[in-house]
Chains A and B, each alone.
Chain A
């Protein structure tokens, strides 16, 4: 069958027909997973809200399991596979390698996701996202995750194959674009992640079938976290690539330095996966050398890389804006940014929230001593809701506003909601992350159905602030769930009922969708970026203060006699 292409008149992007259909199916499957995970999120939030306590304990753990798997695995990875297809076939303007295998991979992922969800909702696999042994789920729970992972692994190899196709057919010259390089980083981390998952989940499946007598719990935790945490590092690489893409789409921004940005991605490839160890910092059995090397010495290279991206993305935007004439003072470039364009506002809120809330708290948790302050408290979900929801999900949602007209050829319905959505969802998630971390600092446990431990022989009296913050988690979490639900409805309605955009037809929606355009002047020396430098210094100040405040807090817990 001949390969066919379409050039989008609105973006100038060239879509290979096979890749385009696959991107749509992956994106739709991802949004369906997000819908299930979002409904479950409401159940979790309304149960952990002490004044509401919606669900019974058994139902709560089932709902929490479904929430974790659908959000942290299915939604994210389906969407990331769409990003890999886009970053290879579309950005390199080439055919997709092995399209039949790509469809097979998609269906493996879809069958796996459905199978695991069935296992969870049957009620006998409430082992949560981590599925720690010796808690045992039904065999089809593990089998579903394995099938999903194999499908994703095959798509990663199809991405690599497409890079080979593009190079051999000379569809690009020199190095691949930076966004594609970011996707390559995500792909490499995904391959490590999925292989680690296979190493531990295949024996766990055999254990649940009765072929293996036992699985060592520490061995399970160590290997499983190479899947559990590294899968979230795939997100980081993917959403940073999306930050660069949105900066290029909305502003025509070019990276401040391709070398620096690529080197930062290279540091991700080498070191980002090692952060998995911070889940095991309080476990006996593993030595301090292993813990410190993994979560501190080497991990700081990856933290350094994130700080580079956090500076170069707004820096590239500042340069593009200054070239357009927004030169007054430190921040005119930022004030005059298109804050009503949801692709931009989502990206910027994602960048700031990921850095200030997710990044700083992640580094604090990665120090072995400080980790003891918050280990297994609700601080941990506070941290990863800042990275995965604010950092990744919000960036993906913002990109989706670009994809509806470009990939799905539909006009976006309810554009007024699109303008306010990033603030409604993003800022409520900022609050959720903050109050969760606040409650965690006071010691409130993560995952537990009843924070008050009512009826337990060793009850604990929490300070009023802990209940207040868990109540605020409920309020802001509900706002985030409802606004996220409305986003899903908006996207689904737009895909089903939005006006079909014919080839060549321009958008009539009022959301500005600026396309990459040559920046005027062609300056030999790009403008300086003092505004970004000030933002970076504010970030560093917050980082240092928060880090040392926690050491102070730790020292006050154990007074020296």
Chain B
């Protein structure tokens, strides 16, 4: 019973972990905005 009362929901564990949040907050925009964007630009054929 005591264990059940002390069990912290998974979402709260995520929100209480600043370094996990930092990892997510850096990784997602880096992949979706920066890396994807830079890859698209790098793949533009060079005019001769």
Query: What residues make up the interface of A, taking CB atoms closer than 8 Å to B?
Result: 160, 163, 175-176, 181, 184-185, 188-189, 191-192, 195-196, 199, 216, 218-219, 222-223, 226, 230, 259, 262-263, 266, 269-271, 273-274, 276-277, 280, 285-287, 290, 293-294, 298
A181 contacts B33, C-beta separation under 8 Å: no
A269 contacts B41, C-beta separation under 8 Å: no
B37 contacts A290, C-beta separation under 8 Å: yes
Expressed in whole angstroms, the Cα–Cα distance for A266 and B15 within the complex equals 8
CB-CB < 8 A to A270: which residues of B? 24-25, 28
CB-CB < 8 A to B38: which residues of A? 219, 222-223
CB-CB < 8 A to A184: which residues of B? 18, 21
Which residue of chain A has its CB nearest to the CB of B36? A290
A287 contacts B40, C-beta separation under 8 Å: yes
CB-CB < 8 A to B26: which residues of A? 188, 191-192, 195
Could you say which of A181, A191, A218 contacts B41, with CB atoms under 8 Å apart?
Answer: A218
Expressed in whole angstroms, the Cα–Cα distance for A262 and B14 within the complex equals 11
Q: Mark B8-45, 1 if CB is under 8 A from A, else 0.
A: 00011011101101101110111011101110110010
Which residue of chain B has its CB nearest to the CB of A218? B41
Most chain A CB within a 10 A radius of its CB, from B16, B33, B34: B33
A175 contacts B15, C-beta separation under 8 Å: yes
A274 contacts B29, C-beta separation under 8 Å: yes
Which residue of chain B has its CB nearest to the CB of A271? B28
Expressed in whole angstroms, the Cα–Cα distance for A487 and B12 within the complex equals 41
A286 contacts B41, C-beta separation under 8 Å: yes
Could you say which of B16, B34, B40 contacts A286, with CB atoms under 8 Å apart?
Answer: B40
B41 contacts A216, C-beta separation under 8 Å: yes
A189 contacts B34, C-beta separation under 8 Å: no
Could you say which of A223, A262, A266 contacts B34, with CB atoms under 8 Å apart?
Answer: A223
Which residue of chain B has its CB nearest to the CB of A284? B44
Which residue of chain B has its CB nearest to the CB of A286? B40
Most chain A CB within a 10 A radius of its CB, from B12, B14, B16, B22: B22
Which residue of chain A has its CB nearest to the CB of B14? A266
Query: What residues make up the interface of B, taking CB atoms closer than 8 Å to A?
Result: 11-12, 14-16, 18-19, 21-22, 24-26, 28-30, 32-34, 36-38, 40-41, 44
If A184-B21, A223-B38, A273-B33 touch, does A285 touch B15 (CB 8 Å cutoff)? no
If A188-B26, A189-B25, A290-B40 touch, does A276 touch B15 (CB 8 Å cutoff)? no
If A192-B25, A222-B41, A285-B40 touch, does A160 touch B18 (CB 8 Å cutoff)? yes
A175 contacts B16, C-beta separation under 8 Å: yes
CB-CB < 8 A to A216: which residues of B? 41
Closest 5 CB pairs of A and B: A188-B25, A273-B29, A269-B25, A222-B37, A188-B22
If A195-B26, A269-B24 touch, does A294 touch B32 (CB 8 Å cutoff)? yes
Expressed in whole angstroms, the Cα–Cα distance for A226 and B34 within the complex equals 8
Most chain A CB within a 10 A radius of its CB, from B25, B26, B34: B25
If A195-B26, A218-B41, A222-B41 touch, does A269 touch B21 (CB 8 Å cutoff)? yes
Expressed in whole angstroms, the Cα–Cα distance for A133 and B4 within the complex equals 59
Could you say which of A175, A262, A285, A294 contacts B33, with CB atoms under 8 Å apart?
Answer: A294
CB-CB < 8 A to A294: which residues of B? 32-33
Which residue of chain A has its CB nearest to the CB of B26? A192
CB-CB < 8 A to A223: which residues of B? 34, 37-38
Most chain B CB within a 10 A radius of its CB, from A163, A262, A263: A262
B44 contacts A285, C-beta separation under 8 Å: yes
A286 contacts B18, C-beta separation under 8 Å: no
Given contacts A192-B30, A285-B40, A290-B36, 6 further A-B contacts (CB under 8 A): A175-B12, A184-B18, A226-B33, A226-B34, A274-B29, A286-B40
Expressed in whole angstroms, the Cα–Cα distance for A163 and B22 within the complex equals 13
CB-CB < 8 A to B18: which residues of A? 160, 163, 184, 188
CB distance from A163 to the nearest CB of B (A): 6
Which residue of chain B has its CB nearest to the CB of A222? B37
If A184-B18, A262-B15 touch, does A285 touch B32 (CB 8 Å cutoff)? no
Q: Could you pull out 24 A-B pairs where Cβ atoms are within 8 angstroms?
A: A176-B16, A184-B21, A188-B18, A188-B22, A191-B22, A192-B26, A192-B30, A199-B34, A216-B41, A219-B38, A222-B34, A222-B37, A226-B29, A226-B33, A226-B34, A266-B14, A269-B25, A270-B25, A271-B28, A273-B25, A286-B40, A287-B40, A294-B32, A298-B32
Expressed in whole angstroms, the Cα–Cα distance for A181 and B2 within the complex equals 28
Could you say which of B21, B32, B37 contacts A266, with CB atoms under 8 Å apart?
Answer: B21
Expressed in whole angstroms, the Cα–Cα distance for A259 and B12 within the complex equals 8
Which residue of chain B has its CB nearest to the CB of A195? B26
CB distance from A507 to the nearest CB of B (A): 35
CB-CB < 8 A to B14: which residues of A? 266
